[in-house]
Amino acid sequence: MSGAGKSTALAELGRRGHRVVDTDYDGYASATPDGQVWIEPRITELLDGHTDGALFVAGCVPNQGRFLARFDVVALLTAPAAVLLSRVAARATNPFGTTEADRRRIAADIATVEPRLRATATAIIDTRLPPHEVATRLESLARRR
């Protein structure tokens, strides 16, 4: 979900020396009339090419289900709607969430997309925790595999 703290978690994990990939960037996804989707050969290459240590991948796209079996852990980062909306309104790194239409979309995603993500997640982390604690919990999940 937008504002859940994915970028913040990835930044902290990257500072700790882990390989991190935000699939919103660097050619891992493309825009379609229905929204972004993963470019499947690029995601396959990413997953096939990673052989050492933990790889943390962030993204939420309609075709991610095709790759669920390739991930050891699928963690949903979440927070209450009011927190998510407050974060996106205040952030300077991404303009999504600054318009009323964006905020309506986020609210709709919370109602319709987040339940589907919860159903496929193997772990749920409340990102009202401090960012270092979110990263520590993600590392702990990776170590168990």
Question: What is the mean predicted confidence (pLDDT) over 69-97?
Answer: 92
- Residue 10 domain-assigned (yes or no): yes
57-70 pLDDT, tens digit per residue, is 999 999 999 999 99
- Residue 84 domain-assigned (yes or no): yes
How far apart (Å, rounded) are the C-alpha atoms in residues 99 and 62?
23
Question: What is the mean predicted confidence (pLDDT) over 120-141?
Answer: 96
Q: Ramachandran region of residue 52, left (φ > 0), alpha (ψ -120 to 50) or beta?
A: beta
- Residue 82 domain-assigned (yes or no): yes
Number of separate domains in the chain: 1
Taking alpha carbons only, the member of 124, 120, 121, 116 closest to residue 4 is: 124
Question: What is the mean predicted confidence (pLDDT) over 99-117?
Answer: 92
H or E element, residue 95:
none
**Which CATH number do you get for residue 85?**
3.40.50.300
- Residue 65 domain-assigned (yes or no): yes
Strand partners, 58: 22
Question: What is the mean predicted confidence (pLDDT) over 24-47?
Answer: 94
Question: What is the mean predicted confidence (pLDDT) over 117-127?
Answer: 95
* Largest pairwise CA distance in the chain: 43
pTM equals 0.90
How far apart (Å, rounded) are the C-alpha atoms in residues 100 and 23?
25
Q: Tell me which residue range forms the domain holding 90.
A: 6-143
Question: What is the mean predicted confidence (pLDDT) over 105-118?
Answer: 93
- Residue 83 domain-assigned (yes or no): yes
Residues 6+ apart with CB under 8 A from 12: 131, 132, 134, 135
- Residue 1 domain-assigned (yes or no): no
Our CA dihedral for 110, 113, 119, 123, rounded to 10 degrees, sits at -60
Question: What is the mean predicted confidence (pLDDT) over 22-34?
Answer: 92
